[in-house]
Amino acid sequence: MVDSFGVLGLIGTIDTVNHRGAELVALCKAFANAEIQLHESVVRVEACWLKIQLQLEFIRRLEPQLSEWHKTIQQRALEILLQKLHAANTRLSGLVKKSDALPNGAGEETTIVEVKRLRYAFTKDRLADTITDLEVWQGIFDPSWFLMMKIAGPEVDQQLYFMSQQQPPVSTHEAKAHAVIPVTQQLRRALKPIVDDGSRKTVFLLPEGLSTESVQNLAYSPVRLARRADNGELVVLDPITCISRANINSALRDIRNFARRLKHTDPFTFGLLECKGILNEDGSDTKPGTAIPPTGLSFVLRMPPTHSHAQSLRHRLLSGPSGEHDSLSARFDLARQLVNAVSYVHLYEFVHKNIRPETILILSRGNYGTENTERNDETAILVGFDVLRDAEGKTNRLGDDDWEKNLYRHPQRQGKTLKTDYNMRHDIYSVGVCLLEIGLWGSFVEYDRVDEKVKSSLGTTHSRPSGLGSTLAAEDDSTSGPELLKSPERVKDRLLQLARGTLRRSMGNKYSKLVETCLTCLDEGNKDFRDDGEFKDEDGFAVGAMYIEKVLQKLGEISV
């Protein structure tokens, strides 16, 4: 099957996808005609497909400008889509009485004559599976699509403008699909170099803009929640530190640039909250030439009004199997959302440096502060950008001995004296540790509920039964938690043992292998992520392309 795609090439694959997609839409329309109750599901399928069509047309127009790297990841994403379309068409075609009225080779659509008499619930379930397949694929395809926005030259802007001027949508689902174009244009503008000539509006905000009595900590997370004084809008205050930066002026520049780039982000697409600005709570100097790191700075991030409840992943993990993410499908969804969000941090040309369950928030519908908050339609987003920097920026290589943070750092980046500068693959290692915890669905870190001090659960015999402290300790090793944490390589080895053993038995071979790939992404023997010198290219595609191809797409291929 792969060989045939290679013969077809990217354009031939796009044509094949369009044919299969048209067949799927025709099948779905037959159900809408037969059962009025299925109309909403069919509209969702049509909306998904219309967005895909727009993106495929853009790729077709831009294909001569794409590097071989980018063509490869686009084609592999389309191969996954073809598999899902084939499965969906097979799933649904058994419910209809076929005729010769299916789409022909020219892509013309006609109507299927008759639907078999089936129970409504049975048909609805199959349509729901189809919607899930398309939406999961969309999540793994979007990062490779948005990666094209880094292509230098006018062609990308010209094609985006051309598509934005096409016939306006006439229905709600068409408008939703067409929204991908303005979102992409905003990202394109955000990725262009920022020239700070003094004419730009400041990104720094005054404390008076917040209702001080509304500020409160979020459990098991470094962020705080607050409300704006003028309209009561819920925001996240994400603290910033610059201690490890070699140059304070460059640190302030990166902080401002990141805030400006996140000015118009979509949290449900990018897994990053829209940034309103930077709060300067103590009035410290933030002007160029500042000699010492400013303090009291926080990113002010807008919570989407539809998802007003936030909980850290650490909070969820500590809660144990209480009905949330205790199913395989829920854990896979959460894993995909995390991997997506990290890909967009890198797309914005920054490294996070602080990925751990405390800095992963799960947003859900409901009113903040209520006990019975609705948990449906959740999305994971990244916060905790306290040591964030430009991917090319330099640091003082200053670290710390906080074991609960070092657990998520690569051995090269643990301790007070660091062995190497930070790069994107160090973020990928952190992702691997988090994916391991998500797959096992338990916390590697325990909190003392009495005095709120963090304590290690590694290698202890007195860890709580529902925790993973005893799991991390090898059965034939009596090493205490504190002793084990003094050896970063041994901790990494334990994590790999878990990935190859317990995780494989609970989440399957593919997920286990994916976690192992992340944990070994800086190892010399890793075939997927090699030496940094092999990642260099003119537009900065290769690191992002590697991550999308080896992690994001592989995760999307896993069926539950």
What's the gap between Cα 328 and its chain centre? Answer: 18
Least confident of 142-156, 168-182, 284-298, 424-438: 284-298
Domains of the chain as residue ranges with CATH: 2-191 (no CATH), 204-530 (1.10.510.10)
Pairing type for strands 234-240 and 224-228 reads antiparallel
- The mean pLDDT value for 144-155 works out to 88
The dihedral over CA atoms of 268, 269, 273, 277, expressed in degrees to the nearest 10, equals: -140
Quote the pLDDT of residue 468.
Answer: 44
Backbone angles phi, psi at 251, to 5 degrees: -65, -45
- What is the chain's alpha carbon radius of gyration, rounded to the nearest angstrom? 24
* CA 253/CA 497 separation, integer angstroms: 41
What pLDDT was estimated at residue 99? 57
| Token reading at 378 | 């959740």
**pLDDT, tens digit, for every residue of 439-486?**
999 888 887 653 344 444 333 323 332 334 455 555 455 555 556 667
Phi-psi bin for 237: left (phi > 0), alpha (psi -120 to 50), beta?
beta
Q: Give me the DSSP letters along 221-240.
A: SS-EEEEETTT--EEEEEEE
Is pLDDT of 148 > 80?
yes
| Chain segment 310-352, per-residue pLDDT in tens | 999 999 888 876 555 668 888 999 999 999 999 999 888 888 8
Regarding beta strands 210-217 and 297-302, do their DSSP bridges make them parallel or antiparallel, or are they unpaired? unpaired
Joined together, the tokens standing for residue 180 give 């991908």
Q: For position 158, what pLDDT does the model report? A: 92
State how far the Cα of 227 lies from the Cα of 248, in Å rounded to an integer: 30
End-to-end CA distance of the chain: 22
Alpha carbons 22 and 103: distance in angstroms, whole number: 6
**Tens digits of per-residue pLDDT, 90-122?**
888 777 765 555 554 445 444 444 566 556 667
Count Cβ atoms below 10 Å from residue 47 Cβ, excluding itself.
19
What is the reported pLDDT for 326? 63
Tell me, what amino acid is at 333?
Answer: D
Contact assessment for residue 273 and residue 237, using Cβ atoms and an 8 Å cutoff: no
Q: Which tokens sit at 3? A: 């060989």
Beta strands in 247-388, from DSSP E residues, in sequence order: 274-280, 297-302, 309-312, 350-351, 360-364, 379-382
pTM above threshold 0.95: no
Per-residue pLDDT, 14: 93
